[in-house]
Amino acid sequence: MNNTILTLLCLAPLCCLTGDTVQAGGVRIKDITHVQGDRDNQLVGLGLVTGLNGTGGRSPVTRQFALNLEQRMGLRSDPIVRARLDLDTTRLTDNLSVVVVTANLPTFAKEGSEIDVTVAAYDDSSSLQGGILIRTPLYGVDGEVYAVASGPVSIGGFSFAGRAGSVQQNHPTSGRIADGGTIEKETCTPVGLNGLVRFILENPDYETARRMVEAINLIAINSSRVIDPSTIEATVPPDYFGRPSDWIGRVGSLEVQPDIPARVVINERTGTVVIGENVRISRVLITHSNLTVITVETPQVSQPAPFSDGETVVVPRTEIDVSEDGIAVTEVEPNITVGDLAFALNTLGVAPRDLSSIFQQLKESGALHAELEFK
């Protein structure tokens, strides 16, 4: 883990050296924004998976779902059986499982198109391996059916158990059906028909929004403006009237350089540290010394003299060795870059577990001019 962090810090100067190249090319607007109204819609449904090898559910929910399915298929069930459903366990359902089915419906997906769906066990089944999802309607937030899902479930794992042990890989109670959903109803939302298109920044920022407006106005004078840090409104030029999609494509291909906030992100669990390019530190002295204490116990046996009344005893003996690294103080110049900071930390021999405490102290002292975020 230490080598990973030090390698990351050593590579930081390379990022700074190549910064001009990145700024010259920039990032496409389509990669940092999305068009307002162009979004996926979540679909959800409750279905039944069949064909399981004894790993299905045995709860009343599973039995209720099975009886409802039979009734929809024209098989009437005894009212007495339905009334005693919660207590009657004679009806075996270990080859069935009630599942929650979800999918994302793209904005401009057409009827008959196929989408991927995911399934997750809703009852007490132990595995969906080998199961097949029966035709399940998927509903939107408005209660309308937008897609129908069915097909064999792929769980990407396994679960086997015996009397004295078990083995499992991944999560056998959830899976995926590639192209398992068929779209039955479209959710097409016209964009730009009123002559205006709004681009929404994924990471809101005033400076990034201003640069986007400058780039758009270069191809169409005074055609765009900043509404807020996350919204840029662009007017469709007369040359693109009736063709707003062409205008959106033209704007999306423009390149700008996003303004990245000064931020340090630390994940103490994995030892990962990410330092933003704009992080600056005032002039400070950083002290970092590693104190190592080694204690060794070597007890000795003391024997009494022959024909004496003494007893054999164990005498404790302790050896203590204390060592401290020689490099203790490093001076950091004001307004250093990421590369300079990486060099300073490498000079101190900082380990991942020490980085969080160093940055916290820098933040408390007011020397770190950046946001400090822990994961």
**pLDDT tens, 349-363?**
666 667 777 788 878
Residue located via tokens 């758009």: 216
| Domain ranges for the chain | 27-37+190-256, 41-183, 263-303+313-374
Q: Which residue has the higher pLDDT, 142 or 72?
A: 142
| pLDDT value, residue 16 | 36
Residues 136, 48: Cα–Cα separation, whole Å? 8
Q: Which residue has the higher pLDDT, 136 or 73?
A: 136
Residue located via tokens 């057409």: 110
CATH-assigned architecture of domain 27-37+190-256: Alpha-Beta Complex (3.90)
Model confidence at 122, pLDDT cuts 50, 70, 90, reads: very high
Q: Identify residue 265 by its one-letter amino acid code.
A: V
For β-strands 196-201 and 33-35, DSSP reports them as: antiparallel
Model confidence at 243, pLDDT cuts 50, 70, 90, reads: confident
Mean pLDDT of 66-83: 71
Residues 146, 181: Cα–Cα separation, whole Å? 10
- Please write the tens of the pLDDT for every residue from 270-311: 777 788 778 887 777 766 555 444 555 566 666 666 666 667
Residue located via tokens 């910064």: 19
pTM of this prediction? Answer: 0.63
Mean pLDDT of 181-209: 87
Model confidence at 206, pLDDT cuts 50, 70, 90, reads: very high
Q: Which residue has the higher pLDDT, 360 or 333?
A: 360
Q: Identify residue 66 by its one-letter amino acid code.
A: A
CA 136, 139, 144, 148 dihedral sign is: negative
- Which stretch of 15-24, 141-150, 361-370 has the lowest confidence by average pLDDT? 15-24
Q: Which residue has the higher pLDDT, 134 or 64?
A: 134
Q: How many CB atoms lie within 10 A of CB 338?
A: 20
Instruction: Indicate if the pLDDT at residue 15 is higher than 50.
Output: no
| pLDDT value, residue 12 | 38
> Are 365 and 33 a contacting pair, CB within 8 Å?
no
- Work out the percent of the chain whose per-residue pLDDT is above 90: 34
